[in-house]
Amino acid sequence: MKRRNPKRPGFRRNRSPLRWLLHHAQNAVAALGRLVRHPLATLMTASVIGIALALPSGLYLLIDNVRTLTGNWDGGSSISLFLAQDLDDREAEYVRKTIAARPDVAEARLITREEALTEFRQRSGFAEALDLLDHNPLPAVVVVRPSASATSAAATERLAQALQGYREIDQVRVDLQWVRRLEAITHTLERGVYLLAGLLSAAVLLIVGNTIRLEIQNRQGEIEVVKLVGGTDAFIRRPFLYEGFWYGLLGALIALLLVTGGLALMQAPVRRLAGLYQSAFRLDLLTAEAVAAVLVGGPLLGLAGAWLAVARHLSRIQPE
Amino acid sequence: MIRFDNVAKRYPTGREGLAGVSLEVAPGELVFVTGHSGAGKSTLLKLIGLLERATRGQIWVNGRNLNRLSERNIPYHRREVGMIFQDHRLLHDRTVFDNVALPLVVAGMGHQEIQRRVRAALDKVNLLGKERSLPIALSGGEQQRVGIARALVSKPPVLLADEPTGNLDPELSREIMDLFLQFSQVGVTILIATHDIELISRLGRRIVQLREGRLQHDSGLAQ
């Protein structure tokens, strides 16, 4: 009877968008409900994820703080400009003003030839030798502190080169060595943090994947029956994916809690240490971007982990 | 409604489930499939429900060639084929209502429609009062009736039952068979695998007998 019509039109599919949304909402709530029903087990899994996420976030925060610290270091990358010998004090002051007006300069301080001589006399112990000279051999110096936007080694270098162009300036000396070193150290640490973040993300993936795998095993009978009565793979997958999502989100929240708590614990000793260096330095909190990254990244990792488990194990379960 | 064209099923172990069976079942027909265990009764039903794929030959169900049905479409095919098992295959942590509602939930049906249909299905198998019970609290016959309610709740055109009375005493078996006779009267095509010859011979319906994967006797052809 059916031979005359072997290609029947496709199956009728129920695709009301509102009902689909409702179904997703029910799935999400049900998945959360399943996690809440085993609070201890859920908390343990979420905590492992939380710690894995907190480590790179915390280290990232540390590096961020080191960076602000180096940026704020007063005179850290100061530039000394030795003015030409034939300039008098009025001309030297004019040069200082011109340089101080530059946007990439925060402050320019003039040390006149007399001031330089006085200071040299006091510090060097060559006072008598200097007396033998009939004129002051020292040039006037302008000490330049780059503005906040120009504190990096490269920017300071650029500024120094620009200043070299002034006719009144004989010589420009920059002490960038330690700024460069610190920057190199920060870069190295940063790379390390990214590496660590990558590894720990993989760990989160595996933790969630394994948790969902066990859950799939526990519910194997149910999955078989659902397949028997015509449940699509997407229908069967959905609750597990939502569980992965919740694990990720809970883990992310725990991670933020851990980082914030750790920061609070560090704040007092850091302030004491900074106080010893006459600095008002305080640890910065996680930026809004970093918080958002953890809150989005955690659930995404959870979802991906669940997907891995589901893709591997769900197709193996077939009703007999 | 169902058509087998020289269908064979060979398992990876080398065992032959079916060895070339041709068969046609008209819409609304009730057919008993009998034979010794291992004769191929279960294989026949599994091929119709696409729990297994044939290794040779063509199968049509409800106008569709199952060989051409992609894996993706299997769930939609199963929604048109209600299946009943000897071991009921119920979810023991869900109420009777939730068990029967499962095919409708899976198909994405609305809440009110589900309520209405589940009640109707439970009414047909005389279990309306047990909606809130867990399957474990029911007798074997009642559990089997829950399984039947689940199979017919989505009003599939085809119903398959594999030894539905296997564990039941003769009186309960009669009750179950009476239910199937009722469904067949409203146009459902039904295949029942059983070895209870004594029970079915009195019902006067078509009997297909299998032996070692081949069609040995078909009372429908004899008539």
Average pLDDT, chain A: 85
Whether residues A2 and B26 touch (CB distance < 8 A) is answered with: no
What is the per-residue pLDDT for A4? 42
State the best of A7, A15, A34, A229 to mutate against chain B, taking most chain B CBs within 10 Å: A229
Indicate whether A1 pLDDT > 50: no
Taking contacts as CB-CB distances below 8 angstroms, the residues of chain B near A16 are 108
Q: Is residue A9 part of a domain?
A: no
* Together in a domain, A54 and A164: no
Instruction: Tell me what percent of the residues of chain B surpass a pLDDT of 90.
Output: 74
What is the per-residue pLDDT for A6? 41
Choose among A2, A10, A225: nearest Cβ to B60: A2
* Together in a domain, A191 and A307: yes
Taking contacts as CB-CB distances below 8 angstroms, the residues of chain A near B80 are 11
* Together in a domain, A85 and A50: no
* Together in a domain, A157 and A82: yes
* Together in a domain, A138 and A110: yes
- Structural domain ending residue among the three candidates A174, A192, A208: A174
- Structural domain ending residue among the three candidates A126, A146, A174: A174
Indicate whether A207 pLDDT > 70: yes
pLDDT by residue (tens digit) across A77-94? 678 888 888 888 888 888
Whether residues B108 and A232 touch (CB distance < 8 A) is answered with: no
Q: Is residue A6 part of a domain?
A: no
Q: CATH number for the domain including A153?
A: 3.30.70.3040
Enumerate domains of chain B plus CATH numbers. Answer: 1-80+156-223 (3.40.50.300), 90-155 (no CATH)
Indicate whether A73 pLDDT > 70: no
What is the per-residue pLDDT for B105? 92
What is the per-residue pLDDT for A75? 46
* Together in a domain, A225 and A163: no
The DSSP string of chain A is --TT--BPPPPP----HHHHHHHHHHHHHHHHHHHHHSHHHHHHHHHHHHHHHHHHHHHHHHHHHHHHHHHH-TTTT-EEEEEPTT--HHHHHHHHHHHHTSTTEEEEEEE-HHHHHHHHHHHHS-HHHHHHSSS--PPPEEEEEE-GGG-SHHHHHHHHHHHHT-TTEEEEEE--HHHHHHHHHHHHHHHHHHHHHHHHHHHHHHHHHHHHHHHHHHTHHHHHHHHHTT--HHHHHHHHHHHHHHHHHHHHHHHHHHHHHHHHHHHHHHHHHHHHTT----PPPPPHHHHHHHHHHHHHHHHHHHHHHHHHHTTT----
* Together in a domain, A53 and A187: yes
Q: Is residue A219 part of a domain?
A: yes
Taking contacts as CB-CB distances below 8 angstroms, the residues of chain A near B26 are 1
Q: Is residue A193 part of a domain?
A: yes
Compute the nearest-CA separation of A301 from chain B (Å): 27
Whether residues A227 and B75 touch (CB distance < 8 A) is answered with: yes
Q: Kindly state whether B107 is in contact with chain A, defined as any CB-CB distance less than 8 angstroms.
A: yes
Q: Is residue A241 part of a domain?
A: yes
Whether residues B108 and A3 touch (CB distance < 8 A) is answered with: no
Indicate whether B18 pLDDT > 50: yes
Instruction: State mean pLDDT over B210-219.
Output: 90
Q: Is residue A10 part of a domain?
A: no
Nearest residue of B to residue A14, measured between CA atoms: B108
* Together in a domain, A169 and A251: no
CA distance B25 to B32: 11
* Together in a domain, A122 and A207: no
Q: Is residue A153 part of a domain?
A: yes
Q: Kindly state whether B103 is in contact with chain A, defined as any CB-CB distance less than 8 angstroms.
A: yes
User: Which residues are CB-contacts of B175 (< 8 A; sequence separation ≥ 6)?
Assistant: B141
Q: Domain count of chain A?
A: 2
Indicate whether B103 pLDDT > 60: yes
Full domain range(s) for residue A134: 78-174
What is the per-residue pLDDT for A71? 61
Choose among A10, A19, A226: nearest Cβ to B102: A226
Taking contacts as CB-CB distances below 8 angstroms, the residues of chain A near B1 are 1-2
* Together in a domain, A196 and A281: yes
* Together in a domain, A222 and A305: yes
More confident residue, A153 or A214: A214
Between β-strands B158-162 and B189-193, what pairing exists: parallel, antiparallel or unpaired?
A: parallel
Taking contacts as CB-CB distances below 8 angstroms, the residues of chain B near A10 are 73
pLDDT by residue (tens digit) across B70-97? 998 999 999 999 999 989 899 999 999 9
Compute the nearest-CA separation of A40 from chain B (Å): 22
* Together in a domain, A199 and A67: yes
- Structural domain ending residue among the three candidates A127, A156, A174: A174
Q: Is residue A283 part of a domain?
A: yes
pLDDT by residue (tens digit) across B51-61? 999 999 999 99
Backbone angles phi, psi at A142, to 5 degrees: -110, 120
Whether residues A1 and B51 touch (CB distance < 8 A) is answered with: no
Indicate whether B7 pLDDT > 50: yes
